[in-house]
Amino acid sequence: MKNIDSRTHVRGESIYLDDIPEVRGTLFGAAFGSPVAHGIIRHLDLTAAEAMPGVVRILTYKDVTGENQIGGIVPDEPLLAEHHVHYCGMPIAFILAETDDAARAAIKKITVNIDPLPVITDPRDAQALGHLIVRPRTFRLGDTATAWEQCAYIFDGVADTKGQEHLYIETQGAYAIPQENDGIKLYSSTQGPTAVQRAVARSSGLPMHQIDVDVTRLGGGFGGKEDQANMWAALCALAAHVLKKPVKYALNRMEDMAMTGKRHPYSSDFKIGLDENLKIIAYEATFYQNAGAAADLSPAVMERTLFHCTNTYFVPNVTATAYCCRTNLPPNTAFRGFGGPQGMFVIEAAIAKAAEALGVDAAVIQAENLNKTGDEFPYGQKAESEAHACWDKAVTLYEIDTIRSKTASFNTVNLVYKKGIALMPVCFGISFTNTRMNQARALVHVYTDGSVGVSTGAVEMGQGVNTKMVQVAAQVLSIQTERIKLLSTSTYRIANTSPSAASATADLNGRAVQIACTDIVNRLRAVAADELQVDIDGISLKDEWVYVGDQQTDWDWKRLVMAAFAKRVSLSEHAHYATPEIHYDAAKEKGHPFAYHVYGTAIVEVTVDCLRGTYELDAVKVVHDFGASMNPLIDRGQIEGGIVQGVGWMTMEEVVFDKAGRLRSNALSTYKVPDIYSVPKEIAIDFLQTQQDNLAIFRSKAVGEPPLMYGIGAYFALRNAILAFNPAAIIPFDAPMTPEKVLLALYDRSVKGDTVPNEQTA
């Protein structure tokens, strides 16, 4: 089934926040953000701004009618700064004007005196000063302290990854329309309608039932709108509540880039020990997470770093500690993979370091240590592993030996171009690590003409979840997909939703749809049994017809629906689903947090221009564990998009803050994302079809986040290409591998006395 949005997308008719027709009297908001990263506000002067044409009102923290607080996990984030500013761009005032332009012009007229305080941008500095947002956490398996003795080889080092801008095509925004009796109708570009509802309720002082958050779709989220849509929604709702006027704020690109958080940068220490057979015996890692100025989702992101710190390998002795470090950057937030990629990068760096020192291919170490069914993760859950299945199929299907020999002979005959390859196996846990978030609800109405409306807590953000929800309903009801309409995600229809996140949205909401539709079908079967005077067990629905045993009757869907209505049988159902089996004990750091894991292996091939430091991705070839994909077209799109986004993070996207905490890479001219010229020339995707009896919807495994981590292979492939040119290069594990860093490494001479072999010829 193709994406149900494809027709309106290609015709330009799909509605996003900024396309909603504006109600008469709408005011336009714009936030004035702190010009400095850390300090105490001495004086805020709004008079010139207030006098600007079209300006209606400027709100500050004094105007907040509820609690001046939007922090989720930790209450450490005011809606509007009071005296203390913690990052550049932190909202201090909210301007309301008759036009967008007037609001933005007024921003420039605001002056603020701030006494500066020391600015911390490095998480290790923050940790040294004790600036931690939550307690550090340590995951342990076996005993590393005694395990080092059993190791033939031990290596240690540092591995760093930088941030990543979400760059959803639709920027953040909200539109609040006051209703009678203090109600607010709120359109928001959010992955978490309930998170928005809570933040608005708290900051406005209204009860949640006054706030209807309605989401049709987003132009991308990638985690950036899991928590950070709240700010803009709360500002618009507050203004609408105070002024009794509709208020809209759609951030422009530079505002969005400067004021919102990104993927967390991490700096990490690792130590890895292997035996003679290259089995990893022990692994220690310490992660310094750059959380930014407020908690946001950082503690949960940090936890997932620990969950994925051994990626898809079985390591019998592990000690992994993570620090959630408060710095003066915008609060960093969820981003596809949610800390998992940062954890995986470090063990891949440790393996690469060992491989380079021992003169073996990293793939030999990787293959030797892939987990097997029954192996224990450091957090206590036992693997049901497809790691070997994916790896083995990838190396045979894509003929790794041929790739290797072609690469070697290319490198022999070419002096200034070098190829590199890397394998990247991935294992990603599916479920919110916060067990209680793993629940969802669905509301299904069958109308008397046989058409069906389905509501869930799922937010469509381009990932195709609504299409999958239609498929679930169509399959259970045994009707054509054309009869089904997916309604917008509304907190008035579905309450207390989890954000659409953690790759789990189709699983959780799909199960709820399945339950609701099953209940309706069972009632309809009872009606048919009654009408046809047969036992209900003999009744089934197939392709819109009622069957008795194998025999098709002359009762079709519409007739049955009308009969049920005439008999006053309910044609609606509201269902609830909660993932069974999962649990976690954070005191012991042990449990069974994930419904299941998704596995896969990628082979990444690159070519480096050793004169310029530029590079191309020749191919990314993947075997991915889809389970039994319910929509191969959508799932393929998720893999392709994930690979490109992961490659961007690892190779070219470089978030740069200066020492004063100001974002320098604040536009697309200074922040380079993959374009059509930089995507891999070939992306091959093989569907590993597995039939595990897992908790995935229709055994179609979650597909949102896992493929991002294939991009990590691009970093290591580039490293291998550089080493083919300059085997003496000392290359720090410091992603992204930008062309500048490639060039420095190609001509690195830091090993005293060594010559760079190809330099003369080059």
Span from 334-342, 629-637, 663-671, 709-717 in contact with ligand MOS (CB under 6 A)? 334-342
Question: Which residue, 502 or 521, is less far from ligand MOS as judged by CB?
Answer: 502
Please choose which of ligand LUZ, ligand MOS, none residue 434 contacts, taking the beta carbon within 5 to 8 angstroms, the exact cut-off set by kind.
Answer: ligand LUZ
- Show the binding pattern over residues 386-415: x = contacts ligand LUZ (CB under 6 A), - = does not: ------------------------------
**Pairing status of strand 280-292 against strand 266-274:** antiparallel
Sole binder of ligand LUZ in the list 434, 518, 540, 678 (CB under 6 A): 434
State the first-to-last Cα distance of the chain, in angstroms, to the nearest integer.
53
* Site track for ligand MOS across 206-245, x = CB under 6 A: -----------------x--x-------------------
Interaction mask 700-719, ligand MOS, x per CB under 6 A = -----x--------------
Instruction: Choose the binding region for ligand LUZ from 154-162, 247-255, 297-305, 399-407 (rule: CB under 6 A).
Output: 297-305
178 upstream amide cis, omega within 30 of 0: no
- Reference 716, options 241, 336, 235, 350; nearest CA is 350
- 432 near ligand LUZ, rule: CB under 6 A: yes
Q: Is-contact 561 571, C-beta < 8 A?
A: yes
540 CB-contact burial (10 Å; exposed 0-12 / middle 13-18 / buried 19+): middle
Instruction: Determine the Cα–Cα distance for residues 610 and 743; give it in Å rounded to an integer.
Output: 7
Closest CA to 730 of 124, 157, 122: 157
Tell which one of 210, 216, 317, 433 touches ligand LUZ (CB under 6 A): 433
- Of the candidate spans 146-154, 283-291, 430-438, 667-675, the one that interacts with ligand LUZ by CB under 6 A turns out to be 430-438
User: Contact between 295 and ligand LUZ (CB under 6 A)?
Assistant: no
Helix (H) / strand (E) containing 282 = strand 280-292
Region near ligand MOS per CB under 6 A, out of 281-289, 328-336, 393-401, 743-751: 328-336
Residue 167 binding: pick among ligand MOS, ligand LUZ, none (C-beta 5-8 Å cut-off by kind): none
Q: Is 300 in the site for ligand LUZ (CB under 6 A)?
A: yes
Subset of residues 301 to 340 that bind ligand LUZ, contact rule: CB under 6 A:
304, 334, 338
Task: State the Cα–Cα distance between residues 569 and 722, nearest whole angstrom.
Answer: 70
Residue 297: CB minimum distance to ligand MOS, A: 8
Is residue 428 within 8 A of residue 339, CB to CB? The reply is no
- The torsion angles phi and psi of 240, rounded to 5 degrees, stand at -65, -40
Residue 434 C-beta: closest distance to ligand MOS, Å? 12
Q: How far apart are CA 471 and CA 461, in angstroms?
A: 17
Q: Does the annotation mark 180 as catalytic?
A: no
DSSP H stretches of helix in 398-451: 400-413
* Contact criterion met (CB below 8 Å) for 454 and 484: yes
Comparing CB distances to ligand LUZ, the nearer of 297 and 630 is 297
Region binding ligand LUZ by CB under 6 A among candidate stretches 250-258, 296-304, 379-387, 681-689: 296-304
User: Tokens 């029954």 correspond to what residue?
Assistant: 374
The verdict on 383 binding ligand MOS (CB under 6 A) reads no
Q: How many residues does the chain have?
A: 762
191 binds, among ligand MOS, ligand LUZ, none (CB under 5 to 8 A by kind): ligand MOS
Under the binding rule (CB under 6 A), the answer on residue 433 touching ligand MOS is no
The stretches of 285-399 forming alpha helices (DSSP H) are: 298-307, 340-358, 362-369, 387-397
The catalytically annotated residue of 255, 705, 740, 759 is 705
Q: Is 682 exposed, middle or buried (0-12, 13-18, 19+ CB in 10 A)?
A: exposed
Shortest reach from residue 233's CB to ligand MOS, in Å:
16
> 480 CB contacts (<8 Å, ≥6 apart)?
474, 544
Report how far apart, in Å, the C-alpha atoms of 649 and of each of 166, 337, 621, 740 are. 10, 12, 18, 15
Q: Which chain residues interact with ligand LUZ by CB under 6 A? A: 223, 226, 297, 300, 304, 334, 338, 432-434, 501-502
Residues annotated catalytic, as ranges: 705
Q: Which chain residues interact with ligand MOS by CB under 6 A? A: 191, 223, 226, 334-336, 338, 501-502, 705
